[in-house]
């Protein structure tokens, strides 16, 4: 489970996350939505201990990430697909992570197979397309077989076959009883993938409901999202 308790993060004058509280429960795919700059990535970084909250708490399975004994076995995340050493092969990238977390070469081969990268495992990640880097990031997140997973815009750059694959993967992980938090700007895809939706705007909670509840009064999730975030859009283009 992931739990945010009045989580607040300030960068100078910018209030990136503002007293945000919600829980992400196991057994569901929870979609994390919000306009550009709403605080989704910052919230995920705070859960992973990559940044310290100004106040409040971000908890994984009831504790702080920094206090987890075997972090990769409890929580896996893909935040930035570009965060790989360009000169390192996909296999070596995953082996480095595996070795520092007591994970064997067999699991590395398994996750490479799972994400469809076995054929290019020895190729340098620097030459990978965005979609291939996303797949490598997903492999890294799954390496420790964790019960909690977070993916920040994993479908970016994926081809239609890859988008469908991600949908099945996310749903499968949730059906296995894992906690899955998934951010995306693709509303139609989110409506097909997620059971629950958390929407943030300007760092604050806008909605926390099931897809069915959110779409009850609207023709689609996109329409519901547009209506709910209309006053939270900071970087809207001129119309
Ligand atoms: N390291 C940082 N230093 C300063 N400001 C930051 C930093 N990280 C994020 N911010 C600011 O915090 C706010 C929230 O950013 P964040 O990346 O969390 O939004 P987001 O919801 O993930 O947006 P997007 O959908 O565009 O990815 C933005 O105003 C951003 O400029």
What's the mean per-residue pLDDT of the chain? 94
- Pocket flag, ligand 1, residue 38 (CB < 6 Å): yes
The pLDDT score that the predictor gives to residue 199 is: 97
Structural domain boundaries in the chain: 2-82+146-229
Which among 170, 149, 166 has a CA at the least distance from the CA of 157? Answer: 166
Catalogue the long-range contacts made by 171-177 (C-beta closer than 8 Å, 24 or more residues apart).
Answer: 171/29, 173/29, 173/149, 174/26, 174/27, 174/28, 174/29, 175/27, 177/26, 177/27, 177/147
Strand, helix or coil for residue 204: strand
Ligand 1: nearest atom to the Cα of 200: 21
The pLDDT score that the predictor gives to residue 69 is: 87
Q: pLDDT (tens digit, 9 = 90+) per residue, 150-206? A: 999 999 888 999 899 999 999 999 999 999 999 999 999 999 999 999 999 999 999
Strand, helix or coil for residue 110: helix
Please give the structure tokens belonging to residue 155: 């479908």
Q: How close is the Cα of 36 to the center of ligand 1, in Å?
A: 8
What is the rounded average pLDDT of the residues 224-239? 82
What is the rounded average pLDDT of the residues 107-134? 95
Rounded to whole angstroms, the Cα distance separating 206 from 28 reads 20
- Pocket flag, ligand 1, residue 11 (CB < 6 Å): yes
Query: Mind giving me the DSSP string for 207-226?
Result: EEEEHHHHHTTSSSHHHHHH
Q: Whose CA is closest to atom 30 on ligand 1?
A: 37
ipTM, 2 decimals? 0.97
The pLDDT score that the predictor gives to residue 24 is: 98
**How many helices and strands, by DSSP H and E, does the chain display?**
9, 9
Q: pLDDT (tens digit, 9 = 90+) per residue, 46-88? A: 999 999 999 999 999 999 999 998 899 999 999 988 888 999 9
CATH 3.40.50.720 fits 2-82+146-229, yes or no: no
């Amino acid at each position: 489970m992931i739990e945010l308790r009045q989580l607040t993060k300030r960068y100078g004058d910018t209030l990136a996350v503002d007293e945000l509280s919600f829980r992400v429960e196991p057994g569901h795919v929870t979609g994390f939505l919000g306009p550009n700059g709403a605080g989704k990535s910052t919230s995920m970084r705070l859960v992973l201990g990559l940044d310290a909250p100004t106040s409040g708490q971000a908890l994984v399975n009831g504790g702080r990430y920094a206090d987890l004994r075997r972090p990769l076995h409890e929580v896996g995340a893909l935040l930035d697909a570009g965060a790989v050493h360009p000169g390192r092969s996909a296999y070596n990238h995953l082996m480095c992570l595996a070795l520092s977390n007591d994970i064997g070469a067999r699991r590395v081969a398994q996750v490479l197979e799972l994400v469809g990268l076995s054929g290019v495992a020895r190729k340098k990640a620097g030459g990978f397309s965005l979609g291939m880097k996303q797949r490598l990031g997903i492999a890294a997140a799954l390496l420790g077989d964790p019960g909690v997973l977070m993916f920040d815009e994993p479908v970016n750059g994926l081809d239609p076959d890859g988008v469908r694959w991600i949908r099945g993967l996310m749903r499968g992980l949730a059906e296995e009883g894992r906690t899955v938090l998934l951010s995306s700007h693709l509303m139609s895809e989110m409506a097909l993938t997620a059971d629950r939706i958390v929407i943030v705007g300007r760092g604050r909670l806008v909605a926390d409901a099931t897809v069915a509840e959110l779409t009850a009064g609207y023709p689609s999730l996109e329409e519901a999202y547009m209506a709910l975030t209309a006053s939270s859009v900071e970087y809207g283009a001129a119309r």
